[in-house]
Each structure stands twice: as structure tokens, then as C-alpha cells.
Amino acid sequence: MAPAEPGTASGGIGDPRFFAHSGPHPLAVVAAAAAATVPREGERLFTGVAPLQSAGSDEVSFLDNRRYADALAATRAGAVIVHPDLAARAPQGCVPLVTTEPYLGWARVAALFHPAPPAEPGIHANAWVEPHAAIDPSAEIGPFACIGAGARIGPRCRVGAHAVIGPGVVLGADCRIGPGATVTHAILGARVVVHPGARIGQEGFGFATDPKGPGGIPRFVPVPQLGRVLIGDDADIGANTTIDRGSAQDTVIGPGSRLDNLVQIGHNVRLGRCCVVVAQAGISGSTEIGDFAVVAAQAGLTGHLRIGARARIGAQAGVMADVAEGQDVVGSPAMPVRSFFRQVAILRRLAERKPKEGTG
């Protein structure tokens, strides 16, 4: 077996070359972060987090899937964030941190030990800042970043290397713009994360057809895209995702929404609060999506649709009609889940049916 990389823990996660680390933290602090109760009190200290299979006696792990209950019984972790139904299976010496939401608790405890690095205030010597841009003194502007005229960069923002913040763009407090990202024609709320390579605010795919172009040959005439992109607080925009600005209206990404990598959002699309759009999904122009809706990977939505709150669009679905609030649809063309699987069952029976004699 290859030797351990320098600087890494024996069982823990979070290579210190890449991830900030805090701690050690006492049991009470860890339990408070997980919003968990502790059946057995103690003054133990914990140094980090790790998977059940490799965690040591000074590390915290979690269990959120009953399929791995056997791993809980065998773990050497010092504490495990666990559901009440499985708390009794924690081995001797392992403190159960009991909560009805173990995965949420894990997220918060992992963030306790590995907080996001703060901004390092200042503008790199190789950054370019146009006149009349307003940059809060607590913000960090990385090398070769470009800040356009009239842009406003809020407190504690981080703008990565080679990122472009266009003229007039507004970044609220604590935004993080990844390396190589481009943000134009946009207003971002607080704590928005834009991952590397994302493109926000470019022209939408809008054009008219002129049937009598030069020489009588039809041509496409661009329609000016005069809207903006508005992104609410705590939204997260994945790497290489593209969000077109609006044409005559604004493109809106609601507060708390999560867009995975390689997502395409067309002009005038409006996402509600806490929507989830998974990798390689595409949403065509002027479609409206209600609060807490989910669009799974590689789904495609045509334009001018209305997707209700808490609706769920299955992976690779082709959505060509409105979807009601709370409805689950799959398939292409998309249809309610029960209808889809009923049709699949009928087709399977037809395919397996033996032909009658003489019918070939």
C-alpha cells in the first residue's frame, strides 16, 4: 500500500493543503453544532471528522443510511451523529450524538472543523479595477481579476483569479466568485457562491427571422437582450453553468436555490426559493419554476412553462407542458410517474408475448 500523503491524518478527511481546519473542539460544542442530544456526557475533545470505516477515537462520524448499520457497530469513531432508532447500536466508547436529521448534523459538524476560508482583504497587484468601481475594504480581489466601471463589491466578498465582474454588477456581502467566472448585467444578494467557469448575464438566445435579407436570403436578426440576472441570497451556482440575462424582463434565481455544474438557464426564466437544478439540465426561456421544485440531471424544459411548487422533474425528462404543484413527472415526453410506469409495464408485456402460430 502506498504511504500516506504528507500532512494528512490517518483516518480523517480534509487534506490541510487544500482545506482550512479548526479545533480540537469539546463534545458539547460538537453536539451543539449537530443540534444533537448526548446520552452520555463527558469532557472529550475531537480533532476532526471521518467516515465510519476509518474514523479514530478523537474523530466524529455519522450514519444516515440503515444499510450501513453494521459499519456503525464496528466503528472506532469517538462519536457518531445518528438517528434515535440506531443510537443503541453505537459501540462502547463511541458517543452517539442523537438527532432526527443526521446528515444535516454532519454538514454542520464538518463545517465546524473545516470552515470556509475568510476573505483576505485587499486587491492583488495584478488585478484590474476600472474607475468608479466600489470595493469594500474587507473584500478580496484575486490576481488578474477584472472589475468593471461602477461595479460594487460588498463586504468580505472573494473574487477569484481571472474572474470578470462586469460594469455595474452588484455583489452583496460574503459572495464568492470562483476563478475564471464571468458575471455581467447582474445583481447578486448576500452569500451567493459562483463556482469556477460559470457565465452569468450573457445575451439570451433570442432572434427574429427576416425573410427578405440581403440577396433575398432569409437571415436572423438578434433581439436586444435588455434584462438582468437577479440572484437571491444564499444561492449556489455550479461550475460552468450559464445563466442568460433577460430580454425584456429579468432572469431570476430565487434565494437559497442550488444549480449544479453544467446547467443552462435561458432568458427570463424565474426560479423560486430553494429550487434544485441538477447537472446538464436545460431550462428554456420564460419558464417559471415554483418554490422547492427539483429538476433532475439532463432534464430538458421547453419555454413558457409553469412548473408548480415542490414539483419534481425526473432525470432525462423532456417537459413540454405545465407541471402541477407537487407533481412528479418522468419520461420524454414527461408524464406523471404512475402513468409512465404503467405504460412501461404494458410495453414489456407486449414485447414478451409470444406470437401466434402463422403470424410470423
Catalytic residues: 267
The beta strand positions in 138-267, using DSSP E, are 140-141, 146-147, 152-153, 158-159, 164-165, 170-171, 176-177, 182-183, 186-188, 193-194, 199-202, 207-210, 219-222, 229-231, 236-237, 242-244, 251-253, 258-259, 264-265
Distance (Å, rounded) from C-alpha 186 to C-alpha 59? 43
91, three cell numbers? 459501540
Per the CB < 8 A criterion, the answer to whether 73 and 61 are in contact is no
Q: Any residues with CB less than 8 A from the CB of 29 and at least 6 apart, and which?
A: 112
CA atoms within 13 A on the CB side of 39: 17
Sign of CA dihedral 26, 31, 34, 35: negative
Q: Any residues with CB less than 8 A from the CB of 261 and at least 6 apart, and which?
A: 195, 238, 239, 240, 241, 279
Distance (Å, rounded) from C-alpha 156 to C-alpha 179? 17
The rounded Cα 66 to chain-centroid distance in angstroms is 26
Sign of CA dihedral 300, 261, 62, 293: negative
Helix 27-34 / helix 102-113 crossing angle, nearest 10 deg: 130
Per the CB < 8 A criterion, the answer to whether 79 and 62 are in contact is no
Distances (CA, A) of 354 to 344, 348, 358: 18, 12, 12
Residue 237 phi, psi (nearest 5): -115, 120
Q: Any residues with CB less than 8 A from the CB of 65 and at least 6 apart, and which?
A: none
